[in-house]
Amino acid sequence: MSKKTKQFRELLLSKDLEFLLEAHNGISAKIGEEAGFKGLWASGLAISAQYGVRDSNEASWTQVLENIEFMSDASNIPIMLDGDTGYGNFNNVRRLVRKLEQRDIAAVCIEDKLYPKTNSFIDGDKQELADIEEFCSRIKAGKDAQIDDDFSIITRIEAFIAGWGLSEALKRAEAYHEAGSDAILIHSAKSDPSEILAFKKEWGDTSPVIVVPTKYYSTPTEVLEQEGFSIAIWANHMIRSSIKAMQESAKQIFESSSILTIENEIASVKEIFRLQGVSELKEAEANYLPKKETTAEAIILAASRGEAMGSLTDDQPKTMIPLKNKSMLEHITEIYRNHGVNNIHVVRGYKKKAINIPELHYIDNDDFDVTSELSSFQKAIEQIDGDTYCSFGDVLFKPYMLDLMDDSEDDLVLLIDTQWRDSVNKGRAADYVKCSQPHSRANYTDPIFLDSAGETLDEESIHGEWMGIIKISSKIIPLIKNEVNALSKGEDFHSMKMHHFLEHLCKIKQPIRVVYTTGNWLDVDTLEDVIRASNFI
């Protein structure tokens, strides 16, 4: 896209009648652009009005400047500032031009009156016009000050407004043109276009002529087109429409003491976000901000030996068996760390000294040979308060499994493999589950919960196999601690596994969310599993 100054020049010089829409702040500028306008009129009247002051230079020129800076940033189309009289003499105009260029404003329009100005529609005929020579000095100084050759200075002739005739208007147009003005804005307060048409007829194509049909609004646009005007400015229609909308809304809300009936009549908050470009910020945040570390912790239950591995576990527990030159435990901890989980607790028991990976937090279950999984879990959970993942030292899984659990906001989340019939665990001890619904591709939205868990479920009722990974939210940690501690009073606690605990939680009606998935995990129990695991990594 070309420079805004160049875009404006193209509008000014195009053969067709072009249009500028009034805008008075960033959001109205953006709305005008989205509607399809190729340029904007930063109206002095509208900018004053949105500040709640009169169009009499009550808003300082730097306040106007600040406002149009927002307009310029919020839109990609050229803006012509209604620069009133130039806020002073030649010196003020040249400083204004420099400041406008710095803010990527394409053009300024200055009118041949005196500072402080009065709006043309308030007692126009009593308004004093600037001395022609003095006004020309404003134009010359402005043109000399501009750095970009395409910046435009439009001169607005108020001769008709002030009650002077056509000849005064033409005399001024001539002088301003001579002084370097890029176009004439001929203003009229009449309800018919006679003045501007008379001017255009005499002026011809000496330079482009801009009109503001606020008062002669009933003139068909085709007439302006046919007469060869360069640009028509719809000068105040955004501020007027917003005033009406705000007045109606304010009245309705006040009278009903409610916002219920208005809700669907007004722009949604989401629409505000869209206009503000919130989505771009989200993308930028993902790009620039450091990735947040989660405060989540992990428990890895790794106390057992793994007898089925034979001599591989003579001197070390099976979690330390190397798979592609790193132990299984290191592979598992790496997955957690890559997920932002750095506080990792490992429950060790058999040959505990062999587990010596730095920066892990170790919890010892010295009764590992006479206790089972739940005793190890109890020792670990005692030390934990935050969101926690728990898995086994002999279960490998792909990293996305953690994301799958993160997608759910439930307090307890289990990953369940629907392909349990193909599992390497088929025929050996496996944690089978029955859920509130079997897996179905038709079900995309219904949440599914655990009904029952165990190694000896009736085949017909099995919906899947628990992969040995669970996510526990911090909110529910106190309850989990209480329940494990209560179970630990029982005689059979030493033989209890995690599936017994899951079954217990089902019995006390604690919802456990189930996430169905297939494969991409491995329970490493045998030597064949070790070979499989090496390929898996």
From the list 28, 31, 34, the residue with the least C-alpha distance to 43 is 28
- Applying CB under 5 A, the residues found at the interface with Mg ion are 44-45, 82
Q: In the set 155, 181, 236, 423, which binds ligand SPV (CB under 6 A)?
A: 236
The angle formed by the CA atoms of residues 510, 511 and 514, to the nearest 5 degrees, is: 140
Q: In the set 7, 43, 127, 391, which binds ligand SPV (CB under 6 A)?
A: 43
118 near ligand SPV, rule: CB under 6 A:
no
Applying the rule CB under 6 A, the residues between 334 and 393 that interact with ligand SPV are none
Residue 55 annotated to the active site: yes
Stretch that binds ligand SPV, among 40-48, 200-208, 255-263, 410-418 (CB under 6 A): 40-48
236 vs 391 by CB, closer to ligand SPV: 236
154 near ligand SPV, rule: CB under 6 A:
no
Q: In the set 107, 211, 235, 341, which binds ligand SPV (CB under 6 A)?
A: 235
Which residue intervals of 146-236 are DSSP H helices? 166-179, 194-203, 221-226
From the list 144, 116, 143, the residue with the least C-alpha distance to 130 is 116
Q: Which does 529 bind (CB under 5 to 8 A by kind): Mg ion, ligand SPV, none?
A: none
Q: Which amino acid is at 70?
A: F
Q: In the set 212, 329, 404, 435, which binds ligand SPV (CB under 6 A)?
A: 212
Q: CB of 45: closest distance to Mg ion in angstroms?
A: 5
80 vs 363 by CB, closer to ligand SPV: 80
SS3 478: helix
| Rounded CA separation 98/322 (Å) | 71
On whether the CB atoms of residues 4 and 106 are closer than 8 A, the answer is yes
Place of tokens 């599914």: 448
State the CB neighbour count (10 A cutoff) for residue 31.
Answer: 19
Which residue intervals of 52-108 are DSSP H helices? 61-74, 90-102
181 vs 517 by CB, closer to ligand SPV: 181
Applying the rule CB under 6 A, the residues between 119 and 148 that interact with ligand SPV are 119-121
Q: Which does 212 bind (CB under 5 to 8 A by kind): Mg ion, ligand SPV, none?
A: ligand SPV
44 vs 393 by CB, closer to ligand SPV: 44
Q: In the set 28, 127, 214, 327, which binds ligand SPV (CB under 6 A)?
A: 214
Applying the rule CB under 6 A, the residues between 73 and 102 that interact with ligand SPV are 82
| Rounded CA separation 374/304 (Å) | 12
| Rounded CA separation 202/187 (Å) | 15
State the Cα torsion 480-484-486-489 to the nearest 10°.
Answer: -170
CA R_g for the chain = 39
235 vs 355 by CB, closer to Mg ion: 235
Mutual angle of helices 61-74 and 44-51, in 10-degree steps: 100
| Rounded CA separation 389/224 (Å) | 72
235 vs 530 by CB, closer to ligand SPV: 235
45 near ligand SPV, rule: CB under 6 A:
yes
In the set 55, 150, 394, 529, the catalytic residue is: 55
Stretch that binds ligand SPV, among 114-122, 315-323, 344-352, 496-504 (CB under 6 A): 114-122
80 vs 309 by CB, closer to Mg ion: 80
Q: Across-strand partners of 346?
A: 300, 362
| Rounded CA separation 232/453 (Å) | 76
Active-site residue set: 55
Which residues form the interface with ligand SPV (CB under 6 A)? Answer: 43-45, 55, 82, 119-121, 212, 214, 235-236
